[in-house]
Every structure is written in structure tokens, then in C-alpha cells.
Amino acid sequence: MAEIKPNSAEQKFKGGITKEIDLVNRDPNRINEDVVKVDFEDVIAEPEGTYSLDGVWKTSVTVFTVAKYWCYRILSAIFGVPLSLIWGFYFACLSFCHIWAIMPCIKSYLIEIQCVNRIFSLCIHTFCDPFYEALGKVFSDIRINLHKEI
């Protein structure tokens, strides 16, 4: 069993071995850093000279922030676990297909294509090599001299 680090009581199952869950940094590989990091200022901005009332602006910022926060929380509470199950199933099936179907097919193809490669190589060496060697010998004695007249 893996060692539990301080400040982390929750564990995640991974192939019979537990793994620490970081509840502070939930995107350690930064896969969603540029995509979903949206604040009010990124969406709505008033150019100089066309400002709304200060109270309306402050309320709008608060409403946007709270609505985004709670909407995400409610959607993740409703759909997070079912979608995790679906994505886990999908990636398990994808891994299964890759391991048990795709890689054996690719390996089989590579083994079969080696036979074709040997036959093709034999034909090239048998027919093309002598032809091009003969052409090389025919044209090897050609000399070109350029004279520039002024």
C-alpha cells in the first residue's frame, strides 16, 4: 500500500493500489489551464465613456461570479459521478481494444509486410540494380567542358 502523505486523508483506487488525491491542486498536468479559466472581465467589458452605474457593475460582477460558481458545483454534483463512470468505461474499453486488438493487428501487419519487403528488395536488386549500374557505366565517360567567350 502506498504511503499516505500528511494533509490528505482521501485516497483514489488505482489498480489495487491506493494513490494520494491532491484536493488543492486538482489540475496537476494543467490540461484545462487556458480553456475554462474565465472571469467576468474576460467576458464583459465596458469601454471608456460607456460605463453603467457603479452599483450595476458591482452587482453584475457578483452575480456572474456566484452564478458560475454554483452552476458548476450543481452540474458537477449531478453529472460528475455518472460522467466519471462513463469516461472510465470508455477509456477502459479504449485501452482494452488497443492492447488486445489494435497492437496485435499492427504487429501482424508488420510481420506480413516483412515478407513483401524481402520480395520487393530482391526484385529491385535483381532487375533495377544491374540496369542502373549499366547506365552509370555508359554515362561515366561523358565529359562536359564549358568555355566562356568574351
Contacts of 27 (CB under 8 A, 6+ apart): 33
Mean pLDDT for the chain overall: 85
In 3D space, the residue among 110, 111, 112, 93 whose CA is nearest the CA of residue 101 turns out to be 93
Chain mean position to CA 82: 24
Q: Are 21 and 11 in contact (CB under 8 A)?
A: yes
d(CA 147, CA 131): 33
Q: How far is CA 5 from CA 8, 21, 57, 93, in A?
A: 6, 10, 44, 32
For the entire predicted model, the pTM comes to 0.55
Whether the pLDDT of residue 18 is over 70: the answer is no
Burial of 131 (0-12, 13-18, 19+ CB in 10 A): exposed
Over residues 128-138, mean pLDDT = 91
Whether the pLDDT of residue 4 is over 80: the answer is no
